[in-house]
Chains A and B, each alone.
Chain A
C-alpha cells in the first residue's frame, strides 16, 4: 500500500510521464479510499492545466502574452541592422 506522500509524488509524475500499469493500479486503490489524496489529485491537475494555459495564451487571452508585433518588428530591425554592419566591416573599401 502506498503512503499519501508516495501517492502525491506519483500523481505529479503521472502528468509528466506514462505511469506503469502497476503504478496506476496502486494509485487507483489508494484514491478510492483516501479523500485527501483525491482532492490533491484534482488540485494538482488544476495547477498543471493552469500552467499550460498561462504560457500558451494568445494575444487576446489572459495569462502571459506573446511578444507584441511592435516589439517583434523593432527587434528584427535591430538584428538586421547589426547584420548589415557586420557585412560592411567584412568588406572594407
Chain B
C-alpha cells in the first residue's frame, strides 16, 4: 500500500498509535478522567488528523499537531456536555498565591514538614489525589503541567501549542502550578485524615 507523503512530511498513519498513542491517551485521560472516553477521544483525533493530513504544514512536530487537535476536541466535548473546567482567572490566581507572602516577600503562612513523602508513591490513593489536584488546576496550568511531562514535547512546542509568549512566562506559570499542587497535596493528602479528594 502506498501512502502519499504531503509536504509536511507526515509519517505513515498506520504507525500513529504506536508513535503517539500513549502521549495522546495520557493527556486525554488526565483531562477527562475516564478511560473509555479518553480512548474515544484519541481515536477521533487520529481519524480527524487523517482527513486533515494534507493541511499539515510541518511547522510543528507531528506530535504537537496531533495534541493540538486533541486539545480542541476535548474543549468541544466539555462545551457540549456543559461541564465547566476549572477556569480561575490568572489575576485572581496570582493574588491568591501572593497572599502566602507578606509585602516584603516573606512567608505569611507556616509550612509543615511532610511525613514520609516517598511512601505516598506506593499508595494508589495518593496518585488519585495527585491527579485530581492537577485536574483542579486552572486549565492552562494543568495543560502546561501535563504536556511538560510528555515525552517528545519540547519547550518551544509547548509554548506554541498553549500560546505562551516567552519561555520566561512558562517558568513563572510552572512555578505557580507547582505551588498550587504543593498546597493541594498539603491539605488533601499530607494533612488530611481520610485521604480522599471530593
Contact = CB atoms under 8 A, between A and B. Distances in A.
Interface of A: 3-6, 8-9, 12-13, 15-17, 36-37, 39-40, 42-44, 46-48, 50-56, 62-68, 71-72, 74-76, 78-80, 82-83, 86-87
Contacts, number: 142
B107 A79 contact: no
A12 B182 CA distance: 12
Interface string B120-161: 111010010011001000000000011011110000000000
Contacts of B3: 83
Contacts of A6: 105
A55 B26 contact: yes
A66 B127 contact: no
B182 A66 contact: no
Interface residues of B, number: 58
B10 interface: no
B111 interface: yes
6 A-B pairs closest in CB distance: A3-B105, A12-B175, A55-B149, A5-B105, A67-B25, A66-B22
